């Protein structure tokens, strides 16, 4: 019983450390710029996908 409790506690500690590690980079300005770039890339990919769909629809009608 005691071993299971210590394992669960160690798991909680590792979980907290992972959360803290994820929270730190979001504060860094460099990672914030990377996130902005990713958002722009995702938006560009979405727009290109929409254009492809529109082009496919045009080909079907024409």
pLDDT digits (tens, 9 = 90+) for 1-58: 455 545 555 555 555 555 455 555 555 667 878 888 999 989 888 888 888 888 888 8
Q: What is the rounded distance in angstroms from the CA atom of residue 4 to the CA atom of residue 20?
A: 24
Rounded Cα distance between 36 and 33, Å, is: 5
pLDDT number for residue 10: 53
Residue 32 near residue 26 (C-beta atoms within 8 A): yes
Task: Spell 25-53 as b/e; 16+ CB within 10 A means b.
Answer: eeeeeeeeeeeeeeeeeeeeeeeeeeeee
């Amino acid at each position: 019983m005691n071993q299971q409790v210590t394992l669960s506690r160690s798991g909680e500690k590792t979980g907290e450390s992972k959360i803290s590690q994820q929270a730190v980079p979001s504060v860094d300005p460099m990672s914030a710029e990377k996130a902005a770039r990713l958002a722009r890339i995702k938006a560009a990919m979405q727009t290109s996908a929409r254009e492809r769909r529109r082009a496919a629809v045009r080909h079907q009608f024409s």
